[in-house]
Structure 1
Amino acid sequence: MSQLRFYSEKQIQKMISPRPGEVKLGERIRIASGLEDLEKTDAQFVIFGIPEDVGVRANYGKPGTSNAWEDFLKAFLNVQENKYNSGGKILLLGEINTSEVMQKAGNIDVSDPNYVKKLGDLVEQLDSAVSEVVKKVISAGKFPVIIGGGHNNAYGNLKGASEAFGHPINVLNIDAHTDLRKLEHRHSGNGFSYALKNGFLEKYSVFGLQRNYTPQYIFNDMDASEAFHYSLLEELLQEQRTAAFRDNLDFVREQKFGLELDCDAIANFPSSAVSPSGLTLDEARELIREATKEKNCCYLHICEAVANGAFPTGKALSFLVTDFIKERKYA
């Protein structure tokens, strides 16, 4: 499959709601027409989406993460351009072309005894596409901001970043789950397991982990290795969370690290594994702002969100992204 689907100026203009006397980000953002624009633009941040839920389905999860990217993009393009937000810093690269794998996934009979294994084969195709795009963005000296899809895409992010830098990198994951499940078929629950196995991930820190949804074998693995660090949500009083997050950040900050935010970590956020317990959206925004100040942070990935019409998913994701871009000093 071709790696990317690019947008035309006309397509972007249709998503913008202009208003006299105001300027929206979508009216100032750079729009890529090909990968060669990565070398031509002086934009610092490169945003692209991954509209898929194949990895979630392969992990026995609820579908829907495929629609978060479009919901985000419509909201993000209509953010106000002002002294705090500058579209000129941003290149809209487009979206990973997932149409073929999504169609193939939809054609697999759920009663097929090899259903999840076949989905896993499709996830591997996504891995390849995501890793190549991330590698090209970082190699061009830009900062990738990746929106959408399941957390299976963390593997592609890590592979691409690791290959761009020529060494394994660290990760700080804000998540209710570790995604360190067994090395079975590829899915949204084992992206970090495969990244460790294949030498793309060195140190892994998880903040906001929920003990009710973490298998004992994963606790055993994390407790036995100096490569892991985690903070349980249940052990963090609200006033302690910022200090505890700094501890998690310190674990990875000395070398290049990716920042992953799984929307499952935010209480009542529409996601593939929505939870009534978790961080507030404002807490997540604060954590994002804290992490973005670190010079070794090399990408941002926000995943597992679902647009369901009852919650302003796109607007919430836009807050997280604009917070990150505003505070970023090293891009």
Structure 2
Amino acid sequence: MESFDFYTKNRITHYIKHRKGETKLGEALEFIPSFEDLESSEARYVIFGIPEDIGVRGNFGQPGTSKAWSAFLNSFCNIQVNEYNDPKNCMILGEINCSSFTKASLATYTKFELGEIVQQIDAQVTMVVEKIVRSGKTPVIIGGGHNNAYGNIKGTSQALERPIHVLNIDAHTDLRETDYRHSGNGFKYAKEEKLLDRYAMVGIHKNYTPQYIFDEMNKDKHIKYTFLDDYLHLTTIEKLIKFKKATDFVRNNFGLEIDCDSIKNFDSSAMTPSGFNVNEIRSFIKLSKKQEVLYLHLCEASPEKNAMIGKALSYFVSDFIREEK
């Protein structure tokens, strides 16, 4: 695939901070040169990046999500290899090469032209996710806007040859009108194309959901949502119990979408002063792991001014891929 860059050890060397007597994850990870090599790999989790912010800009959001993949690698590659972090459990596959898409987006003049570019990215994401899932492995997708949820859903659905369920931790529903593709309507497109069956949203904001979306959601028995307000005064245990109800709705078999707009004071395309904290997101991920999670997608992070964002993304991924003893 011309638009996918397969990584080698040399590609990530500059991220690794070497120290005598220690082994960092980036020093021990496996790399493969093609999709055909996926099935022969021991790795259960396949990590790749989508360094773009075109869907975000098409949805009038703040650019910067294209930087999340690099920020993640800067932290993830320096995780210590020890009895809790097994490098054989995962691989860094590479990234979708978004340079030509970005160049084209900077020369566009309308939101509809941006939408056409997003559709081209959709096709690439769909193909990569489908290949990973068909190989019997779990994709972990980093970076870019939430427009990429559509490709995640379509690729997984095509690989499994059935519609899938999705649980989305998000401040927004991303069920906006399907007039053109952008970061705010990936789930609506997936619904209309019958790729998405049950859809659970956790933590949406009343202030940023239009009435027409509430009207549509309230008519659909395959959609369930809870507000951030529903979690504000709960204890940690009560929050986890409430979250478990969302996983039950999606039949404990789902793609897990985490939009960083849902996290309080987290640099993202739509940063919020009110949201979940990082440790709550980590707890939700760990609870999700008790079910069958088809893929993990971390999106909308915009780390340009905050080095801690990449570290937080690294914690989310290490929690997800770690095999608890």
Q: Which TM class, normalised by the smaller chain length?
A: over 0.9
Q: Which residue of 1 aligns with 2:223?
A: 228
Aligned match of 1:326 in 316, 322, 325? 322
1:274 aligns with 2:271: yes
Structure 2 counterpart of 1:183, which letter? T
Structure 1 residues 234-243 or 222-231, which shifts more? 234-243
Q: 1:14 offset after TM fit, Å?
A: 2.0
Deviation string, structure 1 residues 302-330 (Cα, Å, up to 9, x no partner) = 0000112334111000000001111579x
Q: Which residue of 1 aligns with 2:260?
A: 263
Q: Percent identity?
A: 49
Q: Which runs of 5+ in 1 are unaligned?
A: none
Preserved CA contact (<8 Å) 1:292 1:327:
no
Deviation string, structure 1 residues 189-243 (Cα, Å, up to 9, x no partner) = 0000000011110000000111111111111111111010011011222313211
Q: Take 1:271 and 1:213, find their aligned partners in 2: how far apart are those partners?
A: 16
Q: Which residue of 2 aligns with 1:86?
A: 86
1:302 aligns with 2:294: no
Q: Take 1:130 and 1:142, find their aligned partners in 2: how far apart are those partners?
A: 16
Q: Which residue of 2 aligns with 1:211?
A: 206
Equivalent position SS for 2:83: coil
Moved over 4 A (4+): none
Q: Which residue of 2 aligns with 1:312?
A: 308
Aligned match of 2:242 in 235, 241, 244? 244
Q: Which residue of 1 aligns with 2:37?
A: 37
Q: Take 2:75 and 2:162, find their aligned partners in 1: how far apart are those partners?
A: 36
Q: Which residue of 2 aligns with 1:285?
A: 282
Q: Take 2:323 and 2:43, find their aligned partners in 1: how far apart are those partners?
A: 16
Question: In the TM superposition, what are the counterparts of 1:139-178 in structure 2 within 5 Å?
Answer: 139-178=134-173
Please report the TM-score for the alignment, with normalisation by the length of structure 2.
Answer: 0.96
1:184 aligns with 2:174: no
Q: Take 1:32 and 1:277, find their aligned partners in 2: how far apart are those partners?
A: 41
Structure 1 counterpart of 2:31, which letter? I
Preserved CA contact (<8 Å) 2:54 2:118:
yes
Q: Take 2:213 and 2:65, find their aligned partners in 1: how far apart are those partners?
A: 25
Structure 2 counterpart of 1:308, which letter? E
Preserved CA contact (<8 Å) 1:293 1:327:
no
Q: Which runs of 5+ in 2 are unaligned?
A: none
Preserved CA contact (<8 Å) 1:231 1:244:
no
Q: Which residue of 2 aligns with 1:65?
A: 65
Q: How big is the alpha-carbon RMSD for the aligned residues of Structure 1 and Structure 2?
A: 1.3
Structure 2 counterpart of 1:273, which letter? A
Q: 1:34 offset after TM fit, Å?
A: 1.6
Q: Take 2:36 and 2:215, find their aligned partners in 1: how far apart are those partners?
A: 46
Q: Take 2:33 and 2:14, find their aligned partners in 1: how far apart are those partners?
A: 17
Q: 1:15 offset after TM fit, Å?
A: 1.5
